[in-house]
A and B are shown apart, each in its own frame.
Chain A
């Protein structure tokens, strides 16, 4: 718009429609990134107006740490380790897994309201709407991970590996966060109403996290469930994070192949989830906003 702040007597009579548009037609990638930031900022503004939205990534994980550390912790024995050290990786992974509800609810809400048509009638870069949501949610996940780690340190969690493995642990958590956010994005584009999101997320994520090594040693489970937990993707991520932090995991009698190679397998799984969820979301977004 800067080009038009100075009235130009000659230009409008020539080609009024083309004058004020062309100068700020940025190149594709720049425009995409700028629009992404606008959409991400919109999500931040939502939090400013409705601070409760932030509870998911702040108070809730904190509450889980305290509940498990002080309420259940005493009842759960971890062979060769301290339960609080065992716990933190589990809660980190659970919180990140639940991170899918954020984008899913936000996108499903947008789709039930007319605001998405407003965005579509504006000269926005294609997919910037989705990447804006993803960016904002990713920021939320970084915050949640930070809060969890600080709380963990307070209740007695420590890392026992060198710098690089710890960096790798955080990289894995962030990659898993990205994967779950895209899964949530896809879910938000699939459901008919935002109310459905919580139901679906709870029925999927809760059993997945509790039937894993996130909170209890797998060997304490009945045999049939041990088999499930052994191949549960949450167990895989949790095992990888524990390994990289150097937190003693409860030794398993018969770990699955994936758990034996937890670190590379966990990274690989996140990449596969992303490779599936990103194109599926983009396709679904196009279909949902076609007419």
Chain B
């Protein structure tokens, strides 16, 4: 739906070809970044090294510190401690020049309700010092690219949530930023718009844009990010590629669905010898996700369940997903103390 073929600005000569590699001037680097509000540390000890042209996913629940990190990196908030460089420039000392190189789409769409979509984009272009005619041309192209051309001359006030988000993203793309920050860009979008947005973001990254996005959707981070930082209560609890994170959390999962709630505990007990960690249990779905050791076959599990008298209605093996990573890293119940391996088998 979005027109990936056309770059909205005139970087045709430059951004095509090989993405810039290594932590060059347009990447993002943070050292020990922290932010305290009164006596609460919203963010603490954040280290980042995002090479130019790559994608970092900041993953975490509400209040994990994702937005705080974005606000510091986009010069909207001053860090309490630590340092950060965006496109080679210090976000505190060189805030003005950082702003020339970044595009930001915040969680709440930051567009002017009382202007048309086109006027919003033209205004942002003018504030980027783009000459009037060029600002108008860019606005038109961005409206086209984000599938807003038909409503370009409508007041933003009349826009749906999804349209506002797309306009906000368009505003972030004005001025052809080399680093793009998106705070939960697909929250509130319908599945099709989300897919379209992912395509657009991939195209931007191919053209050399560095992308930092926060998300609560693990699928989103898995699909888009080269690197993932998992935040919890302001702390980094995991850091790596999607593949590394999955490896860190363990092997394949076997999802076992049992017939009734009473069968969950015996099933946990019966399956414990095959896993190093506790299974995650969904009592509503009557489902256990067991991180099984390598070499364990489904047949072994079925025999064990049968021996324990557990009636399993469904049994399936799959690779670990980021959901598993996240549950394992942030769920206190999934910690080692609760693992069934401590239960005599």
Contact = CB atoms under 8 A, between A and B. Distances in A.
B96 to A, nearest CB: 6
A4 interface: yes
Nearest to B89: A17
A1 B130 contact: yes
A122 B99 contact: yes
Interface in B75-109: 75-78, 87-88, 96-97, 99-102, 104, 106, 108-109
B75 A121 contact: yes
Interface stretch (A8-16, A198-206, A217-225): A8-16
Contact of B106 (A21, A24, A49, A117): A117
Contact of A121 (B76, B119, B126, B176): B76
Contacts of B77: 290-291
A247 B165 CA distance: 57
Interface in B94-150: 96-97, 99-102, 104, 106, 108-116, 119, 123-124, 126-131, 134, 138
A122 B126 CA distance: 10
A207 interface: no
A254 to B, nearest CB: 50
Contact of B127 (A13, A50, A113, A124): A124
A140 to B, nearest CB: 16
B127 A119 contact: yes
Contacts of B176: 4, 20
Contacts of B9: 1, 4
A118 B124 CA distance: 9
Contact of B13 (A9, A117, A118): A9
A123 B108 contact: no
A114 B106 contact: yes
Given A24-B129, A26-B129, A121-B99, A45 B119 contact: yes
A12 B113 contact: no
B208 interface: yes
Interface stretch (A30-38, A57-65, A231-239): A30-38
A17 B10 contact: no
A291 B110 contact: no
A41 B125 CA distance: 14
Interface residues of B, number: 53
A122 B26 contact: no
Nearest to A110: B112
Given A5-B134, A291-B77, A38 B13 contact: no
A194 B149 CA distance: 32
A46 interface: yes
Contacts of A38: 123, 126-127
A7 B112 contact: no
A279 to B, nearest CB: 22
B134 A1 contact: yes
Given A1-B9, A1-B134, A117-B106, A12 B14 contact: yes
A67 to B, nearest CB: 31
A11 B11 CA distance: 11
A12 B15 contact: yes
A50 B111 CA distance: 17
Given A1-B134, A114-B110, A290-B78, A7 B127 contact: no
Nearest to B77: A291
B171 interface: yes
A2 B134 contact: yes
B104 A121 contact: yes
B186 interface: no
B127 A35 contact: yes
Contacts of A6: 13
Interface string B42-66: 0000000000000000000000000
B20 interface: yes
A29 interface: no
B215 interface: no
Interface of B: 9-15, 20, 25-26, 37, 71, 74-78, 87-88, 96-97, 99-102, 104, 106, 108-116, 119, 123-124, 126-131, 134, 138, 155, 171, 175-176, 178, 208
Query: 4 shortest A-B CB distances, which residue pairs?
Result: A7-B13, A12-B14, A118-B110, A114-B110
10 contacts: A1-B175, A5-B134, A7-B10, A9-B13, A12-B13, A49-B114, A114-B110, A122-B124, A123-B129, A290-B78
